[in-house]
Chains A and B, each alone.
Chain A
């Protein structure tokens, strides 16, 4: 496998594992991340994995960029021997439609389906988390059926409530905190995706395997109350 290295800044170097998003480049990102986590060299400040890149932030007073590159080349040379962590399997319960998913009607009409059909397709897929970014704990989730794909809203909403599940193009995702955003909103989950009081503040991690299941509003309320009580 070919890796390219280039600076993001005088304190960050980008390792590119490929130029297109595929299993291979994603696996390499995951393996590199787990290696960096294990080895945690002194000069390493932090790293940010994305679809096809791992960006490594270093302390410029401890090491020169050329040396960082050398060290990282050594790491990538042994990548084949590393096993990628086994994906965790996580179920995300969703209460679809209504006030929680005001765009479910749009997604259905856009694809010539009923709302029930959209829900059926959304809950039948096996998804994988490509990366966490944009907002704390926000998962970019791939693997959604083209049958329920929908364009982003022409003008983004100024406030999307936390826990809302959305669709944009062929991606689906969940807004962990209230933010502006342009995705089509189809439902809400009682799960908290951003948990600042935990060591790892994100419920999901890159590589996780995900399934969505349908719950009704009563179940949503019950689970939400229970989860919020656990954290207060």
Chain B
């Protein structure tokens, strides 16, 4: 069990999202940085789909009421265990009574904490994601509060031992490096309504720098930069949007839709961020900036497949290590 001594800014249980219910208007939700979430789970010996704790900017203080094995991946929010800095992107044995805390957000905005065995929360519509606005999923449909007790599923002492031993051999593992940056270059496909924008806007979107506004959350990041406009104003018919759709409302400032986006939208979409680059945006803090670079849908699909292969290799490497020790 994990005792939440302090909740932090926003700490909530998430997984890879609620799939299959968007046609009923149910948002996908899920983690903002699926890459970090999946690696954290693999390092902790879990399935990639297991729920993790998404920790935003100012992290929580968590006490472990039993021996555990954990991994923290994603943005560097200066994690420490019992006051000692804790390395990210690798597994750690955590003895009973340990206290995990976070300090200053150094690089990136969100960390993912995976615990071996994963969290014991009920699935709602086949997912453990917290859907805050509807108050469902995750831990009681809400972000964690001070004093909460978050249960974990039990793992056997043998398994815990195996993870512990395996961890001693960790460092050479094939962990794909996170590419987080304060000013990332984000690859983007032209959106469904790209051609409806005026020429200046079609050029600017791929040339100029955009800054993340303070008015940004898990639903979407509002960007500030050169104003974007349609060739002629027109009403569009609402249609599906996706994680990474870049839509432009009448005020000319683009919004990148993220994990908690609505299922449909009526604003013109000037672009669509390549899936593999979504973590680069999700890890930006307000005030940081980015540039878009053009990519085709075919190339974006190729990058996606390559990333899946990398993650699969990591999974196999971890399995092999575990077999050596069990």
Please name all residues of chain B whose beta carbon is closer than 8 Å to the beta carbon of A49 when the two chains form the complex: 23
B216 interfacial contact with A, CB 8 Å: no
| Residues of A close to B298: CB separation below 8 A | 10, 64-65
From the candidates B23, B244, B269, B301, name the one contacting A64 in the complex (CB within 8 A): B301
**B77 at interface by CB-CB < 8 Å:** no
Bound together, the chains give a CA A209 to CA B115 distance in angstroms of 48
Q: How many B residues face the partner with a CB closer than 8 A?
A: 39
Selected from B26, B124, B133, B264, the residue in CB contact (under 8 A) with A131 is B264
Kindly state the separation between the CA atoms of A141 and B255 in the bound complex, as whole angstroms: 27
B133: chain A residues within 8 A (beta carbon): 135, 177-179
The residue in chain B whose Cβ has the minimal distance to the Cβ of A16 is: B239
- CA distance in complex: A193, B300 (Å): 38
Complex contacts, B25 vs chain A, CB 8 Å: 132-138, 176, 194, 202
Please, which residues of chain B bring their CB within 8 A of the CB of A61? 304-305, 308
Stretch at the interface among A1-9, A89-97, A118-126, A145-153: A1-9
* A residues less than 8 Å from B85 (CB atoms): none
Known: A50-B240, A55-B240. A9 touches B263 (CB 8 A): no
Asked whether any CB of chain B lies closer than 8 Å to the CB of A51, the reply is yes
Contact A135–B308 (Cβ < 8 Å): no
A71 proximal to B (CB < 8 A): no
**Does B168 sit at the interface, judged by CB under 8 A?**
no
CA–CA, A135 to B20, complex, Å?
15
Residues of B within 8 Å of A60, CB to CB, are 275, 301, 304-305
A194 with B275: CB separation less than 8 A: no
Q: A50-B240, A136-B24 are in contact. Are A201 and B264 (CB under 8 A)?
A: no
How many pairs of residues, A versus B, come closer than 8 Å at their CB atoms? 134
Tell me whether A201 and B308 are in contact (CB under 8 A). Answer: no
Interface mask (B68-102 → A, CB under 8 Å = 1, otherwise 0): 00000000000000000000000000000000000
Interface assignment of B242: CB less than 8 Å from any CB of chain A: yes
A100 to B162, CA, bound (A): 59
Interface residues of B in 176-232 (CB under 8 A from A): 189, 192
Q: Return chain A residues, CB-CB under 8 Å to B326.
A: none
- B125 in contact with A201 (CB, 8 Å): yes
A50 to B245, CA, bound (A): 16
In whole angstroms, how far apart are the Cα atoms of A134 and B272 in the complex? 20
CB 8 Å contact bits of B264-279 with A (1 = contact, 0 = none): 1000010010110000
A10 and B300 contacting across the interface, CB-CB below 8 Å:
yes
Q: How far is the CB of A17 from chain B (nearest CB, A)?
A: 11
B141: nearest residue on chain A (CB-CB)?
Answer: A196
Whether the Cβ atoms of B304 and A10 lie closer than 8 Å is: yes
- In the complex, A45 has a CB within 8 A of chain B: yes
Cβ A47 vs Cβ B305 within 8 A: no
Q: Which residue of the partner chain B has the closest CB to A8?
A: B242
Task: Find chain B residues with CB under 8 A from A33 CB.
Answer: 23
Shortest 5 CB-CB contacts between residues of A and residues of B: A133-B264, A55-B240, A202-B24, A10-B300, A48-B240
B residues near A (Cβ < 8 Å) are: 19-27, 124-125, 133-136, 189, 192, 237-242, 244-245, 262-264, 269, 272, 274-275, 297-298, 300-301, 304-305, 308
11 sampled A-B residue pairs with Cβ under 8 A = A7-B297, A9-B189, A9-B272, A14-B192, A48-B240, A50-B239, A133-B264, A137-B24, A140-B238, A201-B21, A202-B26
